[in-house]
Amino acid sequence: MPVFLLLFFLLLLSGCSSPTKQTVGQDQAPAGKIVLRGGTLIDGTGKGPVENATVVIAGNRFEVILSGDASQYESEPNTRVIDVEGKYLLPGLIDGHVHYLGWAAPLYLAQGVTSVLDLGNYTPWILAQKFAVANQLVPGPRIFTSAGQLDSPPGTFPHSVNVSTEEEARAVVREHAGRGVDYIKAYTMIRPELLKAIIEEARAADLVVRGHITVSAREAALFGIASLEHMSGIAIATIDDPEILQEIEQRRTEPEYVMATVRELAPLMQPELFDDLIELLVKQGTALSPTLVSWWMGVHPHTREYEEQDQAFLQDSRLSFIPELSRQSIVGRYSRSRRARSDPKFQVGYAKSQEFIKSFLEAGGTVIASSDTTLGAMPGMDLHRELELLVDSGLSPLEALQAATRNPAQLIGQGHELGTIESGKLADLIVIGGDPLQDIRNTQMIEMVIKDGEVLDIDFDIQFQDLIPRPLSADYLSRFNTAEQTAP
């Protein structure tokens, strides 16, 4: 469906869904400022926590952040004062890798995810969603997007934009840039020479390139790739068996094979080759987006715990807006993943991946917390789980928090606006009920979410409607073992 038709549809129907933001009664004037006082501030910059902090929000931006007495701000007229003593204040969370779906909006917001970085979607649809959220036609987290990822024929997913030559690749990058994407994504079948061209053309448009690739991480880093999604390319760069490397090259056009390379090759990684690669990645400023929660489900030790949580959560009657296809896939992912990854080699691969992450961070590397949520995942909650798995892998709780706030904002050139609680930045903030530096799972104790300077109503609304469902082809659905039918 063309973008203008989607937008027209939104304009007609935007009043049909119940808002997720708190509404101001007719007898109330909107607050000119919001003052949060008394909580412990963890601002995302890396500095230690600030006790008895005061955060002043004016409009949609942070105005003042200080410690101690805030009476001068509290006494100003038309100011809403919120006592958060005993609570913890964090920047709004940023999920560094999602495949956005409109029905997921309330789940992201309820879990404190105020921004998402979309990495692959139907271009007209996701640009329409981005516009709609930005203009408050529909609720949702702030959306940044690559639109359709650049792949090569035959293509791995139907929303990919397939290119065969350097000229075609450069042309698509220019077209994407002209349509307002926030970065470019290179995908699994892209050959090295095409990846180089994509990165060069994106750099000319002042955009970074993020990649789920079957190119060596060493080669991609030298080209200037900004991030390695799912740690793709790492195994290829840390295996010196020529037969394996030749097979990867020969089978790059097989969708099922290239999608399996991250997990299948991880057990073969040679740790003695880690340090040299890590040194290069850090020097080149190449970030890692591990997505452990999705790509190692069924292998990591929290799988059954997360399964029980999801099964209980989906019993909530207010969540009737979650499509049945997604319900089936969310619940089914656990048995599917355990069955598909029961081979002990995957435990070896997971342990080696954790070792690489820990060494990479110790060397000064940048980690991006990402859930890779899509049709069969739990939006919002999976990001909190990723934080737990990153801490399991050697990050400190503070480093994990930065991986879900400051780091993704800086990665896409939005560090001046988002990712930390500092004067002048957009006022995205969450209030939680426990100290995340003592236990990273306390990030799940969400008590208040502020986005763009507005306190959101994060209670689920049974009347919520996904006004423009994402197109889902039979081929796409089959990858999640769902019924082969197309969404309306």
pLDDT at 460 over 50: yes
Three-class DSSP category at 206:
coil
pLDDT at 375: 80
pLDDT at 69: 77
State the average pLDDT over residues 374-396: 96
State the average pLDDT over residues 395-416: 98
pLDDT at 25 over 80: no
pLDDT at 487 over 90: no
Residue 454 has a CB neighbour count (10 Å cut-off) of: 18
pLDDT at 481 over 60: no
Is residue 288 within 8 A of residue 227, CB to CB? The reply is yes
CA dist 380 and 377 (Å) reads 9
State the average pLDDT over residues 179-201: 97
In angstroms, what CA-CA distances link 302 with 27, 266, 326, 348, 385? 49, 20, 21, 16, 9
pLDDT at 467: 84
- How confident is residue 473, by pLDDT bands cut at 50, 70 and 90? low
Q: Is the dihedral of CA 266, 269, 271, 273 positive or negative?
A: negative
pLDDT at 261 over 80: yes
In angstroms, what CA-CA distances link 155 with 159, 164, 261? 9, 10, 16
Tell me whether residue 487 is exposed, middle or buried, using C-beta atoms within 10 angstroms of its C-beta: 0 to 12, 13 to 18, 19 or more.
Answer: middle
If you average pLDDT over every residue of the chain, what do you get?
Answer: 90
Return the minimum-mean-pLDDT range out of 6-20, 232-246, 381-395, 448-462. Answer: 6-20
pLDDT at 9: 46
Q: Which residue has the higher pLDDT, 488 or 66?
A: 66
- How confident is residue 76, by pLDDT bands cut at 50, 70 and 90? confident
Note if the bond before 301 is cis, omega within 30 degrees. Answer: no
Closest CA to 296 of 231, 235, 212, 358: 231
Mapped to the 3 state alphabet, what secondary structure does 309-348 carry?
HHHHHCCCHHHCCCCHHHHHHHHHHHHHHHHHCCCCHHHH
- How confident is residue 477, by pLDDT bands cut at 50, 70 and 90? low
- How confident is residue 370, by pLDDT bands cut at 50, 70 and 90? very high
The residue with tokens 């048995």 is 335
pLDDT at 31: 55
pLDDT at 17 over 70: no
- How confident is residue 74, by pLDDT bands cut at 50, 70 and 90? confident
pLDDT at 486 over 50: no
Name the percent of the chain lying above pLDDT 70: 90
CA dist 282 and 290 (Å) reads 16
pTM for this predicted structure: 0.91
State the average pLDDT over residues 118-138: 95
Is residue 448 within 8 A of residue 27, CB to CB? The reply is no
pLDDT at 212 over 70: yes
pLDDT at 476: 55
pLDDT at 474: 55
Domains present along the chain, CATH in parentheses = 16-92+420-457 (2.30.40.10), 93-418 (3.20.20.140)
